[in-house]
């Protein structure tokens, strides 16, 4: 697919691929088994500019585009899906809304440390009663003088245990969707606590945390956008987030394909490599075809974002296809590896566990189908 890319994008892809293979790949399985956040890798990624690829240099970003970001997350996720989503959630769901909706003062205050990776960001929308139905948000922010007082709790915040800056959605009026507002909340604000850390099927090097808000005082200046803009900011941010998860899913799929090709050439049965068997050949052909189709959808949606076009449907299509492709490829990869694919001696079982979440977060596959169908039937 390199014919679609600029020379700058090709160079970035090569650089990130080399970094990921040499630095991330060797420690990914151990970090995952120990539920260890890859701090050293994220620090180095920040130094390389990977935490702020698509943002202007005036705020500390790398000054590139969203296609470049898409390529980088895929390259990282090929070796470690946890590291891929750490970068994706930080970039798409925190840096992007501050850049798109923040005041100049907010951008100058928060973006330099976020885009350099000195600080990690997290996005807090989901609650026990508000998953796909974000309009059912119960966390409340009430205005008192020149500050907001926030009370409630959030679930499933990616990067929640390490983040210093949070984009948090809270209810500021009784209207379902129009009553939501977005806030920039800092970890050290009194009353802000990290609750339960989830023990997950996959992406175990990435923290998923409960956030507890007990009379957290947030300055009036930390309202992001206008009061009542929270739902809009969430939906726009999730469009970008879906591109990051598309890239993560593609990285998992590519890992499954590449490992399966290698294993099929090395594994002998009936006095020949199993790659000689048509059954294996067809599985690999189907895996690669699905991957290429998903990549093209992801590239198109990323390109549309760079061009300033409405890409909400295209992001949903890309995320839907890529996440289901990741599951398909991981499933076929285990089948190709046979019994070994079911053991921790090979990475395939990790790819399978990591792939599943891509069908759930940043909008389930069912939500993506709703977004796509509504755009066609309106």
Catalytic residues: 362
Q: What is the three-class DSSP state of 194?
A: strand
Between the two ends of the chain, the Cα-to-Cα distance in Å is 34
153 touches 191 (CB < 8 A): no
DSSP for residue 150? E
What's CA 73's distance to the chain center, in Å?
8
Q: Using CB atoms within 10 A of its CB, is residue 266 exposed (0-12), middle (13-18) or buried (19+)?
A: exposed
297 touches 368 (CB < 8 A): no
Largest CA distance in the chain: 79
Q: Half-sphere exposure of 85 toward its Cβ, with a 13 Å CA cutoff? A: 25
Of 263, 273, 271, nearest to 332 by C-alpha is 263
Cα–Cα distances in Å, from 77 out to 36, 81, 249, 266? Answer: 16, 4, 8, 24
Q: Using CB atoms within 10 A of its CB, is residue 153 exposed (0-12), middle (13-18) or buried (19+)?
A: middle
Q: How many CB atoms lie within 10 A of CB 359?
A: 20
Rounded CA-CA distance 171/322 in Å is: 33
Rounded CA-CA distance 359/367 in Å is: 10
90 touches 51 (CB < 8 A): yes
């Amino acid at each position: 697919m390199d014919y679609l890319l600029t020379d700058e994008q090709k160079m970035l892809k090569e650089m990130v691929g080399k970094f990921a293979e040499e630095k991330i790949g060797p420690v990914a399985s151990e970090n995952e088994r120990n539920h260890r956040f890859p701090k050293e890798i994220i620090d180095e990624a920040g130094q390389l500019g990977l935490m702020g690829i698509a943002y202007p240099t005036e705020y500390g970003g790398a000054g590139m585009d969203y296609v470049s970001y898409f390529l980088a997350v895929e390259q990282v996720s090929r070796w470690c899906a946890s590291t891929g989503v750490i970068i994706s959630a930080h970039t798409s769901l925190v840096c992007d809304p501050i850049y798109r909706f923040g005041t100049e003062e907010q951008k100058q205050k928060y973006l330099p440390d976020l885009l350099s990776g000195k600080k990690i960001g997290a996005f807090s929308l989901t609650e026990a009663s508000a998953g796909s139905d974000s309009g059912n948000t119960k966390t409340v922010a009430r205005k008192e003088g020149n500050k907001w007082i926030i009370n409630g709790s959030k679930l499933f915040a990616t990067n929640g245990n390490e983040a210093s800056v949070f984009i948090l959605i809270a209810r500021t009026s009784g209207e379902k969707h129009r009553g939501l507002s977005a806030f920039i909340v800092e970890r050290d604000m009194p009353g802000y606590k990290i609750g339960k850390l989830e023990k997950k099927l996959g992406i175990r090097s990435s923290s998923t945390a409960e956030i507890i808000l007990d009379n957290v005082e947030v300055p009036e200046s930390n309202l992001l956008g206008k009061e009542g803009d929270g739902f809009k900011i969430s939906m726009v941010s999730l469009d970008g987030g879906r591109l990051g998860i598309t890239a993560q899913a593609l990285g998992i799929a590519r890992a499954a394909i590449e490992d399966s090709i290698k294993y099929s050439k090395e594994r002998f049965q009936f006095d020949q490599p199993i790659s000689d068997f048509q059954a294996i050949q067809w599985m690999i052909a189907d895996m690669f075809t699905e991957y290429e189709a998903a990549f093209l959808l992801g590239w198109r949606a990323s390109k549309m974002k760079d061009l300033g076009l409405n890409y909400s449907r295209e992001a949903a299509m890309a995320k839907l296809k890529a996440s289901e492709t990741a599951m398909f490829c991981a499933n076929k990869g285990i089948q190709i590896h046979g019994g070994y694919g079911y053991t921790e001696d090979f990475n395939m079982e990790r790819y399978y566990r990591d792939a599943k979440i891509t069908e759930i977060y940043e909008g389930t596959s069912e939500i993506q189908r709703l977004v796509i169908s509504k755009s066609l039937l309106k």
